[in-house]
Structure 1
Amino acid sequence: MSGLLSNFRNTIIVSFVLALVIVLGYGHGPQGHDAVYFQAVFRWLHVWFGILWIGLLYYFNFVQIRVMPQIPAELKPAVSKYIAPEALFWFRWAALATWIMGVILAFSRGYLAEAATLGLWGGYTPGVDMGFTFIGTGMWLATVMFLNVWGVIWPNQKRALGIIEVDADAKAKAARTAMLFSRINTLLSIPMLATMAMHQTIFG
């Protein structure tokens, strides 16, 4: 067991194998492999990728950004050259996968247009369409966050970390821009998660 757990790749492979056994097991339930089954699969993937994305967002903001000023100068390259690029790899691809799975889930459940228009698709009925307003708000917050990751944070982090060579002033400006947009995403993440979690309980 220690040999398995000492290897990250093998740990993740076994974890996914166990998860797939469970996923396939659900397919032998009364509903079989109907639309609801695949919606459940999409929701599982959406949640898993979302945990990876938001978990790394919180790592950056709760830990790395706050602690970096306290790290001695000679130790900072270990973070900027090794830890940050690896974390950013998983961060940006998890953001993309979360967003795609969320769109697929909303489409498969038949409420993508209603959510995208905050309940205005086909006319707004107070009370009836309120759920679409809430989940749509969460989806738009997540979309802004996703666009921030790929359109602002990652391009600026490449300059800040030296992946793209720029002068010292441009590097400092890029680092600050990436930090500010990461903080914007942190700010948006908590209300976004409130809409996602509460919608499923109240309107799901």
Structure 2
Amino acid sequence: MNSMPLTRHLLELRQRLLRSVVAVVLIFIPLFMFAGDIYTLLAQPLMQALPEGGSMIATDVTGPFLVPFKLALYLSMLLAMPFLLHQCWSFVSPGLYRREKRFARPLLFASVLLFYFGAVFAWFVVMPLLFAFFISVAPQGVAVMTDIGAWLGFTMTFVMAFGMAFELPVAVVLLVASGIVTPTVLAGGRAYVVVGCFVAGMLLTPPDIISQSLLAIPMWVLFEVGLLCSRWVEPMADDSEALS
């Protein structure tokens, strides 16, 4: 483990932050040039669910400009996520022991993949089902015309929720590796975990059984995956305790 004076840490932090900002800006510029086309493409799940003749509307004067701008910015940060996490890793890695580095690298890689997998699952599987359900239950005589700003806020929140929820295997492995719990204890509390997954689905998704199940069931499966992987890292946690 290396030690550096505080000023060097601050300079290193500034450098990492500048690199992260530059990366996001470099991705944002080309995306913003085609922000309108990107918005049209990503809004297809809702547009296809709208009844014939339906459309999206902008209730805010600045909405036609700001919503595509925000969408391009969100996508820039999502696409730059591997680089941003690498900058975080590069900043903290000098302070880690060798065994901690070997353990953290695969978890960092897995967390990025799981987050993207959750976001893609939400966008291409869950969102079309949700939009079709919500529009189908609209009372007769009600014209469904969603505001583009409301659509962006809803979808981004939903995608982020699924991305974070799919990090459950990493959380399980970290809990076991840190010695807080054991795989046996987690397996014994499986029933509580299942209930917790459905509670999380109820809190993070709209109040319908379809969207709640589409989040809760994958979370349960991912918990089982994390539990299986944690059985392999349990000896690593024991070794770390023995060396300390």
Normalising to structure 1: TM-score of the pair?
Answer: 0.34
**Which fold has the larger relative contact order, with Cα–Cα distance below 8 Å and residues 6 or more apart in sequence?**
2
- Find the structure with the greater CA-based Rg: 2
Normalising to structure 2: TM-score of the pair?
Answer: 0.30
